[in-house]
Structure 1
């Protein structure tokens, strides 16, 4: 049985998605503010409140068509994504991605004595900071969507910045998120699991006013700029992710504007319930992102097995900077032994987890997530989003997707995006 079919079967057993939050009470925002998407934050409170047990919130349809029905099995066309994308949107231009940028930065730092001294100093500092995290026992912040604006203008913001991760609860209604997952998984069965980027449910999810409100608020708080665009990505069935190697800086949330389509933030909208065996862990400290970027440049002097006391393996004195000629290949995964992880709270349909892209996540079990990557208004991102929009209008994968044999999807149009905010983040209505 395929992974897609297993997930569909698990969703079919989700009979009453409203039960999770039936005991929650109604809260009201005291200071509504207007976002750049044209919605006031108080009007974007979940209209459902989850306060009573009811079936009235169930959708009026139940996907009664058989998965084998000819009415939903239209023929699929496949294209070689690289050649088709290149023909339609051209090359990626002169922008640099994280891999190229990190290698360039690392090479420069390793090549002269001053740079090497700075790397060694940064390494000692980050190891000290991580020890402090172990002592304090930082947890993953967990806040409700209806009070997000309060938490982002109070002392809580400092805790969120330091943790580098936050869970925002109930951004989308449970049943709505589950139905998106069901629709997308059903379509994926027809494509043998090949990713989809422009399915109607994906477009609806990315354009949802509540999601865009949460995205706008968190971007303004952490990036000092509201999100102007978002990257179009397919669903994924785990949060497990290696860290993005971003060159360390005084402000870890600000990315070099020449990098595109790159963001220091990564959001995931949860679309399905957690399975009994699902678990995700993370190191809730922004220092872990700095550590992950520095770690490939350092190696242990003695192995763990050769030391009588295993704690000596982690001692700063046991780690040395690599020579400039030994710059590792970016795709080579390295261990992160100094990181101490903690469990991410259970994620339910409609919840959003926000994390710094440099924080690694370990995950087990299968759960459906929709990645949402915010892009700032830079010249490089503006050029990229034009090409992404062109790919949408041709039904092709976006330019950052190199997927080989890809699904030729329905040709897109601005009318398929239901909200003005959704059209804006796709590069329309500039």
Structure 2
């Protein structure tokens, strides 16, 4: 894993100035007012999150998706995460785990982490993964999640189809009890410094940068579908647009809190507002009060190139983050607010908004492994179709998908997936067998 450097190039101070100037002479006053409001709201929200704990994470079943009330939908969108239960039959999902364990035994040289005791597998094309991504229940859940996004007004976005999901090949993990897991601290995927540097991506957060943060809409497609989330070609940085990231549980009988599961900061609007404005403020050298989190102890600043939580890779291959922590983003109160998902059974899926802060529990205090396949929700867009064509080619050749670091070809592995393992016509379409980049 590449080492990280918090010292960003001087040109990023110019980026802050560019952003400030693009919003006019009132930028400082508008976002300073917004900063104070966000801090005040975070104080209330973090208290609620800490008090409610796991119960704050929404849970629904696959069969309920089309009959949820407006208040249930609003809560799912507010929290930015949801557990969808019974997406796949228990026995089928548990069977995939058994097959994946056998896959590792049959292919002992397959790449994984840690290398001496593999638990996170850099494998993309095993038969269970191909079957799971194309499963009708998984595709139904994906389409429903895509549908939580919208296009404002009467604007038409060419090539966008939220009802027809696509697939994105990712990895799986079978984490053992004990030990400390440091690989996934609190972070946000789907773009690093690009959130500020790419002009199109930046439009997704325009209301926040105007100081009108309460009107920010994390589910507005405009800007998302053409945003450059991978300007530097960093390995493991998704170049497609995922509405929600997700994983499928495979462990019997269930996996829950303190068992190496995923955790969230369950408020996507507030977390976006805070993180996007954080680079423009710093703690005062001489505090005005004893409370370091109070708004009066923070000041507007454009002099530094630092974007807190964004790190340069020392190998020169771009930037990673945002990775908020208790020093860079203290108002999140992450030590109290990172909230584990409730118990999940095989075939249940956990999804989280592409902007949501998430991590994996450092400690696994259970007695069984924690086994999941990573399967996000991906809508049909022109950019995504272009990626899908390249991904389909890597599938047919049995090599690493385009967004990931090259590894030994999987084509010769025992138990590798083939086109005939794709489930159904919708699954074939989602894998790119009835579409083209020109569609």
* TM-score, reference length from structure 1: 0.66
* Matching of residue 252 in structure 1 with residue 233 in structure 2: no
Q: 121, 125, 132: which one pairs with 1:205? A: 132
Q: 171, 184, 187: which one pairs with 1:234? A: 171
Higher relative contact order (CA 8 A, sep 6+): 2
Q: 123, 126, 129: which one pairs with 2:41? A: 129
In the TM superposition, 1:1-12 aligns within 5 A as none
Preserved CA contact (<8 Å) 1:281 1:344: yes
Question: Which digits, 9 at most, give the CA deviation of each residue in 1:41-60, with x for residues without a partner?
Answer: xxxxxxxxxxxxxxxxxxxx
Preserved CA contact (<8 Å) 1:109 1:116: no
Q: Find the counterpart in structure 1 of residue 79 from structure 2.
A: 163
Q: Find the counterpart in structure 1 of residue 345 from structure 2.
A: 348
Tell me by how many angstroms 1:262 deviates: 2.5
* Matching of residue 172 in structure 1 with residue 88 in structure 2: yes
Secondary structure at the counterpart of residue 359 of structure 2: strand
Q: 251, 263, 284: which one pairs with 2:266? A: 284
Secondary structure at the counterpart of residue 282 of structure 2: strand
Q: How many residues align?
A: 323
Preserved CA contact (<8 Å) 2:288 2:296: no
Q: Find the counterpart in structure 1 of residue 407 from structure 2.
A: 405
Preserved CA contact (<8 Å) 1:240 1:280: no
User: Is there any run of 5+ residues in structure 2 with no aligned partner, and where?
Assistant: 1-11, 113-120, 152-161, 176-183, 196-201, 207-215, 228-238, 312-318
Q: 143, 148, 152: which one pairs with 2:65? A: 148
CA–CA distance in structure 1, aligned partners of residues 16 and 426 of structure 2:
38
Q: 236, 255, 276: which one pairs with 1:274? A: 255
CA–CA distance in structure 2, aligned partners of residues 131 and 349 of structure 1:
36
* Matching of residue 386 in structure 1 with residue 389 in structure 2: yes
CA root-mean-square deviation: 3.2
Secondary structure at the counterpart of residue 342 of structure 2: coil
Preserved CA contact (<8 Å) 1:107 1:327: no
Preserved CA contact (<8 Å) 1:394 1:412: no
Tell me by how many angstroms 1:221 deviates: 2.5
CA–CA distance in structure 1, aligned partners of residues 14 and 102 of structure 2:
43
CA–CA distance in structure 2, aligned partners of residues 226 and 131 of structure 1:
38
Q: Quick one: structure 1 residues 400 and 279, their matched pair in 2 at CA, closer, same or farther if it must change by over 3 Å?
A: closer
Q: 215, 218, 224: which one pairs with 2:145? A: 218
User: Is there any run of 5+ residues in structure 1 with no aligned partner, and where?
Assistant: 1-101
Tell me by how many angstroms 1:325 deviates: 4.5
Preserved CA contact (<8 Å) 2:83 2:348: yes
Preserved CA contact (<8 Å) 1:111 1:324: no
CA–CA distance in structure 1, aligned partners of residues 278 and 104 of structure 2:
38
Tell me by how many angstroms 1:347 deviates: 2.4
CA–CA distance in structure 1, aligned partners of residues 85 and 411 of structure 2:
32
